Amino acid sequence: MYKGAAEAAEFCLGLREEELEGVDVVVCPPFVSLAVAVQLLAGTEIAVAAQNVHWEEEGPYTGEISAEMLLELGVYGAIVGHSERRQYFGETDETVGDRVRAALAAGMFVIACVGETEWERERGETEGVLQRQRSALDADDNLVLAYEPVWAIGTGKTATPEIAQEAHAFIKSILDVPVLYGGSVKPDNAAVLLSQPDVDGALVGGASLDLESFIAICRAGANIPS
């Protein structure tokens, strides 16, 4: 919940001036900033996605936004099932699956988030949690997963490259889709995380709020010298 329309506009204007070849870049601002992001990034290769999407086309769901509404704005895709949605807003594996299927059916690109809490990891339940969360999802050409170890989000903790690789390899063994890593990705750790064979990209949180920080991470992904 950062960057209203004015701040988002400043960010997008700066981002569109950068040469970011060799990497797919997507920005996911709040709903109120989507229109300006779409407008200012038009004509570039940078996509705009929402932070959530509802499973119905319309109806008595106050506060929700449908895939059709997003597509009308020119929005490319949506994040679904982010750990904060699960933690604070009652998102479940079932509702994540409903949202993913609706968005894909509407022709959107989807980043679906999975990952274990610190308590679950300490109990050795990581693979069981990932298997359960995956069970609500089916492979699709427009689906990407994001592995978010919840214990590494906003805590300053980061999964080691080995932990990230192990989790990504397991996810790919149960669902054949690209997998991003999300969990305190920063310019100083992006390259080593993204160099792991089964890490296909990054879902960047706090480090994406600063334009220079985000660009540095994009360059790490594209192997573009700073």
Which domains are seen in the chain, by residue range?
Answer: 5-221 (3.20.20.70)
Q: Considering only CA atoms, give the Rg of the chain.
A: 17
What's the pTM?
0.94
Active-site annotation holds for 82: yes
Q: How far apart are the first and last CA of the chain?
A: 29
SS3 121: helix
From CA 202, how far away is CA 221, in angstroms rounded? 8
**Under 8 Å between Cβ of 163 and 196:** no
Strands (E), the chain: 26-27, 47-50, 77-80, 109-114, 143-147, 179-181
Q: What is the 3-state secondary structure (H, E, C) of 35-78?
A: HHHHHHHCCCCCEEEECCCECCCCCCCCCCCEHHHHHHHCCCEE
Identify the active-site residue in 54, 82, 116, 168.
82
Identify the active-site residue in 54, 116, 148, 168.
148
| 226 residues of the chain, pLDDT tens digit each | 999 999 999 999 999 999 898 999 999 999 999 999 999 999 999 999 999 999 999 999 999 999 999 999 999 999 999 999 999 999 999 999 999 999 999 999 999 999 998 889 889 999 999 999 999 999 999 999 999 988 877 676 778 999 999 999 999 999 999 999 998 899 999 999 999 999 999 999 999 999 999 999 999 998 744 4
Active-site annotation holds for 58: no
From CA 194, how far away is CA 49, in angstroms rounded? 22
* DSSP 8-state code for residue 114: E
